[in-house]
Amino acid sequence: MKIISYNVNGIRAALNKGFIDWLKAANPDVICLQEIKALKEQLDLDVFTEAGYIHQYWFSAEKKGYSGVAILSKIKPDHVEYGTGIESMDVEGRNLRADFDGVSVMSLYLPSGTNDARLNHKLEYMDMFQEYVNTLKKEVPHLIICGDYNICHEEIDIHNPKGLKNVSGFLPVERKWIGNFIDSGFIDSFRFLNPEKQQYSWWSYRANARANNKGWRLDYAMVAQPLQENIKRAVILSDAVHSDHCPILVEIDK
């Protein structure tokens, strides 16, 4: 099962930059999208169907042009769960889960902490999400949580760890949380298979950051520990340029 996760920074903008041709070439079984910034009604869904993704699930934010996640799949899921049941998360369209035979895939978009109010919201969200996942794993142990976590875990995951230590996304409290999240029963699939590789998944649009590879690794495919032996491949697809993020891929042997 080949799974891709991609913060597209606006699905309509990505479509205008050749997203569908890229998707056909990448050919995942399941793709998790974040920051779609669109309502289902604003999209021509036929383009995804024609690419082979006949099973489409869109969970948009209530605020137009903001946030939102989706899962597109060639495989019909057994069950789809929209949101977490926690209102402050769900109004922003940040969690969507599709259960397949033996594996459950979640598309997650954690908030960014762009100012003090949003940072507080992010920290509250992180705590609530951890509690939610702790409960969910009892029911759904074979869980893969893909998405934009808006956090770099270790110094290897960011281009300037000393200079950015006080910036949201690399704050000690955020790094501690994602470390604890992994310790609660997950595997950072990319780091598991690439322990020394310094590669990023997001670059600022400012100061030619992508050309200079001044990036951050904010996107993860977190795989529940019971699936450790099933992880076959985990890569960052940095050649895709439809967004300020690039896609990540994890391949699971079911």
pLDDT in tens, 103-141: 999 999 999 998 888 999 999 999 999 999 999 999 999
Gap between the Cα atoms of 13 and 34, Å rounded: 13
Give this prediction's pTM.
0.98
Of these residues, 29, 99, 148, 219, which one is catalytic? 148
The CATH classification of domain 2-252, taken from the options 3.40.50.410, 3.60.10.10, 3.30.70.890, 2.160.10.10:
3.60.10.10
Residue 24 pLDDT exceeds 90: yes
Residue-level pLDDT at 233: 98
* Closest to 92 measured CA to CA, from 117, 64, 120: 64
Q: Can you give the pLDDT at residue 116? A: 87
The sheet with strand 219-224 has its strands ordered as 79-82, 95-100, 103-109, 143-148, 219-224, 186-188
Q: What is the pLDDT of residues 74-84, one digit of tens each?
A: 999 999 999 99
Under the banding of pLDDT at 50, 70 and 90, the label for residue 254 is confident
pLDDT at position 141, please?
97
Residue 129 confidence (pLDDT): 97
- Active-site residue, 148 included: yes
